[in-house]
Structure 1
Amino acid sequence: MSDTAILTLRTMLANLDDAKKYQSLRDVMSTLPAPDLAAVFEDLPPEKLPVLFRLCPKDLAAEIFAELTPETQQDLIDGLTDKELKAVVDDLFVDDATDLVEEMPANVVKRILAQADPATRRMINELLKYPEDSAGGVMTTELMELRPDWTVSQAMAAIRKNGFDKETINNCYVTDRDRTLIGVVSLRALVLSKDPDNELIRDMMDDNVVSVSTTTDQEDVSQMFEKYGYLAIPVVDNEKRLVGIVTIDDAISIMQDEASEDIAKMNAMGPSDKPYFKQSMWELYKNRAPWLLFLMISSTFSSMVIRGYEDALAAVTVLTAYIPMLTDAGGNAGSQSTSTIIRGMAVGDIEPHDLPKILWREFRIAILCGGTLALCNFAKLIFLDGIAPPVAAVVCLTLICTVILSQLIGGLLPVVAEKLNFDPAVMASPLITTIVDTTTLLVYFNIARVLLRI
């Protein structure tokens, strides 16, 4: 149903200037959720954005706006009147309004803040004080608070009166007079209370509340959602006073952003939070060229190693034919190890203090993998390639050593990066491959020199 409605909407928009079927557009839009409508907005030229936005059902307008990319938001803001912009800002949750202010240029920010009411401006400025990648930077202050001495009936009355503008009411947080967080109670528990007029909140609340500090890293917060299965996690300040909550939708966005950033770094590119077609050619160039240049320069070490062993290669020229196979095997083994460790660190399964266990485990795996590759390769070299046994022994022994070294390096570097406060993803495939290539060549030529006496 949704795909059909989106296709119908796109068709109508293509003839918007001629058809003027605004009521039909409104009817179609009312059947679509905000994320689907936002996807339609992203494909529109800037001059059509305000026209379609004005046709949005009022209760959907702010949700659609929050789903748009910053570039489309700016184009839309440029086409809205001050009154329309004020309506949007008033309907946005504070965390979404804060994100908007962080993304917009100064002239647009000035206009946004001018339309926001004083309370919203104050909350936006408060949230802007926290680091962007912290719990304080992603939290919302719109939550449902209850008092421990209230009855269930009083709590339900407060929820009915104030809950409409809250980010979520599934969990209500119990605080004392100075806003110290002392418990949490679910809406389910309140609704199912058997004696709502007499049962007190303090008697039914859970006082073992899992919370995070305003300075907790956002990635650590997102992992807590996965660990505990919560829909929201409260955020407290240094005095344990409740200042906000992080909701599951924010956690999902954090996970997506962190995954995108890690994928970019693991493939030797600068991360970007923009969709592919929203990035200019210049931005794509800047994200890729520095890493390509760095890796190209790093690869010259391999060339230096080969030049240093030209005499050995001249004496046994067949050795040259197996260099690509050995370096590829080493790079692949190192990449497997690195990717596994980075993933384990990302989900909290591996900590830096686990390094000795990691290296011992990777060493044993490498012996099994390297031995398997060496046996298969030895049979190929002897029976299919017709290579002399001493040369085959050099290649296969190098293969075992290469896999062992590669997996040890692959297990070591991400942990070292974490210890030095670097992103472990930087140590992924391209960089590992460059390091392993040089190491493999050194091992190869030294084994050849010893066994073949060259």
Structure 2
Amino acid sequence: MEQEQKLTADQIIKFLEERNFKELKEELENLHPVDLVDAMEELDKKQRMLVFRLLSKEEAAEVFTDMNSDMREELLEALTDSELKEIMDEMYVDDTVDVLEEMPANVVDRLLMATDEETRKQINTLLQYPEDSAGSIMNIEYISLRKEMTVADAILKIRQVGINRETIYTCYVTEKRKLIGVVDVKDLLTAGESRLIEEIMDENVIYARTLDDQEQVANQINKYGLVAIPILDHEDCMVGIVTVDDAMLVLQDETTEDISIMAGVSPNEDSYFGTSVFQHAKNRSLWLMLLMLSATVTGEILGHYEDAMAVMPVLITFIPMLMGTGGNCGSQSSTLVIRGLAVGEIEFKDIFRVLFKEIRVAVVVGLMLAVVNGLRIYIMYDQNVMLAGALGLTMIAVVSMAKCIGCVLPLLAKKLGLDPAIMAAPLITTILDTCTILVYFNIVTAFFHL
């Protein structure tokens, strides 16, 4: 079936200019909130406000949730208190908390004033959990059933309260707030109405704790293919759920953070275009400065071998190739290990297995590069076998060293509680530059007795 063409920003502007609000309202009802937010980014402030006011309360709440912080602040300036209250009433509590965490203090106060006392209490509870914990991203709105209920009773309850819950596909069976089982809606719909929940519930429940790291919880959801995972507090009482859409956002944020760190850039929650030039420069300059200063060590080591380079100036021409190869090999290994750590494929206890595998890879890769490079040097430098042999041996040593360092450092960082992404390309390349110079000149000085 051919997909319908999405409403574009230009089409929205045309509707507004023609003041054809009725038809625009109908078109907006068929547009997904995420697509509408994308279109609204191309509108000016007045046009955004007109479009937003054409939306129903439910649609407005979804669109408001999907907006970036700048667009939200812009709308908040124009919305009346009653309009704001209608939007806040339609938003799920976990989404409200996400919005509040991105807003300045004066805006937060106004948003909280637009919520009822019970919702404010729930929001404050979630805000008290540590950042990046499961408690900070969980939704406290879920469907709770009792084991003595019949299937018919459970379905009736879902119909009554399901409209206010983020997900109804999985229901949780509790007793005095203790989680004792789970029931899928599919099981309820296919079971006899007189059967008890106790008979059809699954007692083997996968759960997480409020203080568990949010990335760990997101990986659990991904690993077990869950729609949502129940969250228990320190007293083993069920206090909320983390849904798969929240888990996807967590994994996206964590991946973005790791990519930034691996590139030597301080993580930033704002978008690329939403970040000022000064902030971009600030995020990048610290790492660049540290790496620049650390390269001073490499320069000092080179200075130590001035006499050898004076005797054989040709040695200088091979330094960029060796340093580049070492850095690239180290980056390959570190990237694969960091990825393995992120998805739970590799753990610190596997360090010797990883090291053994990388050593074998290094020997094969090193021999291939050494042979190719040795032949090149033999042909280009008057069939100098000694020089080709020295560079070939150096290549094998550099590749082996790079592979070992590249795989071990991220594992050590993980063991020490640091982000393994710190041990990525920029840092490993800098370390390997120094090590490569030491290995190279020790080998050539031994070969040529310099």
Q: TM-score by structure 2 length?
A: 0.97
Distance in 2 (CA, whole Å) between partners of 1:403 and 1:366 is 6
Aligned match for 2:188, one of 179, 187, 190 = 190
Map 1:427-442 → 2, pairs under 5 A: 427-442=423-438
Matched, 1:401 2:397: yes
Matched, 1:282 2:283: no
Distance 1:6 1:302 in 2: 57
In structure 2, the partner of 1:376 is: 372
Report the CA distance shift for 1:401/1:3 in structure 2 as closer, same or farther (over 3 A).
farther
Tell me the C-alpha RMSD between the 2 structures: 1.4
Q: Is the 8 A contact 2:25 2:54 kept in 1?
A: yes
Per the TM alignment, residue 6 of structure 1 is displaced from its structure 2 partner at its CA by 2.7
Paired residue type of 2:61 = A
C-alpha contact (below 8 Å) 1:175/1:183 kept by paired residues: yes
Task: Note if 1:425 corresponds to 2:424.
Answer: no
> What does residue 356 of structure 1 align with?
352
> Paired residue for 2:323, among 313, 320, 327?
327
2:97 corresponding residue in structure 1 = 98
Does the CA-based 8 Å contact 1:47-1:79 persist in structure 2?
no
Residue 440 of structure 1 and its aligned partner are, at CA, apart by 0.3
Q: How does 1:238-257 map to 2 (within 5 A)?
A: 238-257=234-253
Aligned to 1:310: 306
Instruction: State the Cα distance separating 1:324 from its structure 2 match.
Output: 0.8
- Distance of aligned partners of 1:403 and 1:203 in 2 relative to their CA distance in 1, 3 Å threshold: same
* Structure 2 counterpart of 1:51: 50
Output the CA distance in 2 between the equivalents of 1:12 and 1:93. 28
- Inter-partner Cα distance in structure 2 for 1:70 and 1:181: 36
- Equivalent-residue separation in structure 1 for 2:297 and 2:118 (angstroms): 60
User: Which runs of 5 or more structure 2 residues have no equivalent in the other structure?
Assistant: none
Look up the match of 2:156.
157
User: 1:12 deviation in Å?
Assistant: 3.1
| Conserved? CA contact 1:49–1:79, under 8 Å | no
Letter in 1 for 2:264: A
Amino acid paired to 1:51: L
Q: 1:19 Cα shift?
A: 2.4
Give the Cα separation in 2 of the matches to 1:293 and 1:417. 21
State the alpha-carbon separation in 1 of the partners of residues 10 and 95 from structure 2: 27
SS in 2 for 1:130: coil
| CA shift digits 1:168-217 (9 cap, x unpaired) | 000000001x2100000000000111x21x21000100000000000110
Query: Which residue of 1 is the match for residue 5 of structure 2?
Result: 4
* 1:129 match: 128
> Which residue number corresponds to residue 267 of structure 1?
263
The worse-fitting range, judged by mean Cα deviation, of 135-144 and 274-283 is 274-283
SS in 2 for 1:243: strand
Give how far 1:391 is off: 1.3
| Number of the residue aligned with 1:300 | 296
Structure 1 pair 132–48 and aligned structure 2 pair: CA distance change class (3 A) = farther
* Paired letter, 2:60: A
Counterpart among 214, 225, 238 of residue 218 in structure 1:
214
Give matches, 1:63-82, under 5 Å: 63-82=62-81
The aligned counterpart of 1:119 is: 118
**8 Å contact kept, 2:57–2:86:** no
**Conserved? CA contact 1:2–1:32, under 8 Å:** no
Contact in 2 for aligned 1:30/1:56 (Cα 8 Å): yes
C-alpha distance in structure 1 between counterparts of 2:23 and 2:287, whole Å: 51
* Alignment correspondent of 2:13: 13
Cα offset, 1:387, TM superposition: 4.9
Q: Deviations over 1:67-109 (max 9, x none)?
A: 1112211111111110011011110000000111111111101
How many percent identity over aligned positions?
42
Q: 1:418: Cα distance to partner?
A: 1.1
Report the Cα offset of residue 14 of structure 1: 6.1
Asked if the contact 2:40/2:48 (under 8 Å) is kept, the reply is yes
Amino acid at match of 1:381: I
Q: Partners in 1 of 2:170 and 2:319 — Cα distance? A: 61
Task: Tell me by how many angstroms 1:3 deviates.
Answer: 7.6
| Cα separation, 2, equivalents of 1:452 and 1:229 | 62
Change (3 A) 1:14 1:270: farther
CA contact (8 A) 1:29 1:56 kept: yes
Out of 59-68 and 39-48, give the one that drifted further.
39-48
SS, match of residue 273 in structure 2: helix
Which region of structure 1 is more displaced relative to structure 2, 52-61 or 397-406?
52-61
Q: Secondary structure at the match of 2:172?
A: strand
Counterpart mapping for 1:160-175 below 5 A: 160-175=159-174
The structure-2 alpha-carbon separation of the partners of 1:300 and 1:65, relative to structure 1 and needing over 3 Å to count, comes to same
> Aligned to 1:412, which of 408, 415, 419?
408
Q: Is residue 42–residue 68 contact of structure 1 (8 Å, CA) maintained in 2?
A: no
Counterpart residue identity of residue 395, structure 1: L
SS at structure 2 position matched to 1:268: coil
Give the Cα separation in 2 of the matches to 1:387 and 1:266: 42
Secondary structure (helix, strand or coil) at the match of 1:330 reads helix
**Matched ranges for 1:33-44 at <5 A:** 33-44=32-43
Instruction: Give the Cα–Cα distance (whole angstroms) in 1 for the partners of residues 122 and 6 of structure 2.
Output: 38
5+ residue gaps, structure 1, are: none
CA contact under 8 A between 2:227 and 2:243: conserved in structure 1? yes
Could you tell me how far apart the structure 2 residues matched to 1:111 and 1:420 are? 42
| Contact 2:57-2:87 at 8 Å conserved across structures | no
Aligned-residue offset at 1:137: 0.5
Q: Is the CA contact (8 Å cut-off) linking 2:322 and 2:395 kept in structure 1? A: yes
Judge conservation of contact 1:212–1:234 (CA < 8 Å) in 2: yes
Contact kept in structure 2, 1:89 and 1:115, CA below 8 Å: yes
Deviation at 1:2, TM superposition (A): 7.0
Say which SS state the counterpart of residue 183 (structure 1) adopts. strand
2:24 aligned with 1:25:
yes
Alpha-carbon distance in 2 for matches of 1:3, 1:441: 61
**Amino acid aligned to 1:151:** T
- Report which stretch shifted further, 402-411 or 378-387: 378-387
Amino acid at match of 1:187: V
Deviation of the 1:142 alpha carbon: 0.8
